[in-house]
Amino acid sequence: MEFWFTMPAIWSDKAQHATREAAKRAGFGSRPGDEIYMISEPEAAAIAALKDHTSNEALSIVKPGNGVLICDCGGGTVDVTTYRILETSPRLTFEELCTGAGAKCGSTTIDRQFYKLMLERFGDAFRDLPLKTKGPGSDFMDEFEKIKHDFGYSESGDENYELPLDISLSDPDPKHFNCDERLVILSDKDVRALFDPVIGKIKALVKSQISIANGETGKNVIKTIILAGGFGDSEYLRKALQREFSARLSIEVIVPKHPQAAIVKGAALRGLDGLRPITRRCRRHYGFSCGKPFRKGEDMEHTAYKRVFDGCKYSRGRMEWMVKMGEKMGENITKMTEMNYSGKDQPMSCRVELYSCSLNEAPERVDSPGVKLVGHLIIDFSTVNRACLKTKINDEGVRVYLVSYEVQMCFGAKEGILKFSAVANGKNLGEAQIDFSKD
């Protein structure tokens, strides 16, 4: 059996790894032959949506050469990814057109703004209520979920919404609370004020992605926006995007029949039919911090050290970027870089620091702003033939060792996570483990 787990595309590598580990600890993939795979939510949504809209070619709005923007709006995150359709027959083929983007501006942001509004209006009386009365799953929040879902269907703009809440108030404003019926009252303007900041962030994400996609192709390539995810079913969101992009840019905004289920459906189609983009865009720069020969006049003296093996002057903290953000990656593409271990002890293993960066231009040094530690890659040398290691007696009469090895980074693996392996003296050392940063 294959188990496919979906995850927001903006999650860190650590969060992706933790999700996979949680699934393994829960018993998934524990039988011989069973496997755990991960897929990003916008990619899964794209698979489901594109499959649906190319199944009837005569009626299809998705044509070869067109760009399709998937706006995956969940509870916590919103992910925006653009794909270009290469062909629809005999098989759906598509590629990721440009680097996707995302932010934490899902529908739970509206919930937090709603709680803030309740605190402003009712103060400690609301704050002191037990969670079972005001928290997720309560009658109060269930009613607010219905308001969120249905908001946008009415055009009158003068509606009031009522939510049951047993709260003790000394002198409530009748515009905000009905004492006789024990109901909180929200005006259409109140709900609009909760939605609009979130809608504004989503529109900004979509607008930026359209601009990048058009710059990549040199034309107005995006013809369709497909909304997915639970919040993608919001009528208010759909109309806001229509006003912004359909009227002005002639981009059709589509909501699948079951937008929340689209992600799960797409993950299943990925496993069953093998549907997937032929290329993806890397969302971050990835590379290693390492020592390199010291450059006089360029490297700072405080970064200098003498390499144990030969006493040559090196500079620590220089970055070796293996892949650039936005780089087009096919399936199972392997990037390779050469590295060295130098030390007095016979090496059994070493730890290499893996970093990422989301800036447009990746800096040269590890201590530059925007460079973040992903974790430590643990390279196991225990199977390396010691007779093949470079070794010598240094000036202090101590035996020192030098191991030259290659680190291979695999992108687009079916597992859906970064994979690393190492090679030393022509011997494959196997998969390298990542000890994720506690930062």
Q: In whole angstroms, give the CA distance from residue 215 to residue 221.
A: 9
Pairing between strand 222-228 and 67-73? parallel
On whether the CB atoms of residues 400 and 344 are closer than 8 A, the answer is yes
Q: Is 374 exposed, middle or buried (0-12, 13-18, 19+ CB in 10 A)?
A: buried
Q: In whole angstroms, give the CA distance from residue 12 to residue 18.
A: 10
The DSSP H or E segment spanning 280 is: strand 280-281
Annotate 151-201 with three-state secondary structure.
CCCCCCCCCEEEEECCCCCCCCCCCCEECCCCEEEEEHHHHHHHHHHHHHH
- Domain range list for the chain: 2-102+199-280, 108-195, 285-436
* DSSP reduced 3-state for 433: strand
Q: In whole angstroms, give the CA distance from residue 195 to residue 61.
A: 30
- Tokens found for residue 57: 């070619």
Q: Is 295 exposed, middle or buried (0-12, 13-18, 19+ CB in 10 A)?
A: exposed
On whether the CB atoms of residues 316 and 303 are closer than 8 A, the answer is yes
On whether the CB atoms of residues 377 and 410 are closer than 8 A, the answer is no
What pLDDT does residue 130 have? Answer: 94
The answer for residues whose C-beta is within 8 angstroms of residue 116's C-beta and 6 or more apart is: none
What pLDDT does residue 29 have? Answer: 93
Q: Which of 219, 292, 213, 228 lies closest to 259, judged by CA?
A: 228
- Tokens found for residue 41: 């939510």
Q: Which of 378, 359, 279 lies closest to 319, judged by CA?
A: 359
What pLDDT does residue 58 have? Answer: 43
10-residue mean pLDDT profile of the chain (439 residues): values are 91 89 94 92 88 62 86 92 89 90 93 96 94 93 94 86 92 92 95 96 96 93 92 94 91 88 92 89 91 92 89 92 89 81 76 91 94 90 77 81 84 74 80 73
Q: Which of 105, 106, 46 lies closest to 81, judged by CA?
A: 46
- Tokens found for residue 236: 């208010």
What pLDDT does residue 148 have? Answer: 94
Compute CA distances 429 → 51, 316, 381, 421, whole Å: 41, 25, 7, 7
What pLDDT does residue 187 have? Answer: 95
* 3-state class percentages of the chain: helix first, strand second, coil last, to nearest 5: 30, 35, 35
For 415, list phi and psi in degrees, rounded to 5: -60, -20
Residue with tokens 């196997």: 430
Other C-beta atoms lying within 10 Å of the C-beta of residue 353: 17
Q: pTM for the whole thing?
A: 0.84
Task: Look at the alpha carbons of 239, 244, 248, 253 in this order and tell me if their dihedral is positive or negative.
Answer: negative
On whether the CB atoms of residues 313 and 306 are closer than 8 A, the answer is yes
- Tokens found for residue 115: 């709680």
Write down the CATH number for the domain with range 2-102+199-280. Answer: 3.30.420.40
What pLDDT does residue 176 have? Answer: 95
The DSSP H or E segment spanning 374 is: strand 371-380
E strand spans, 100-153: 101-103
Amino acid at 34: D
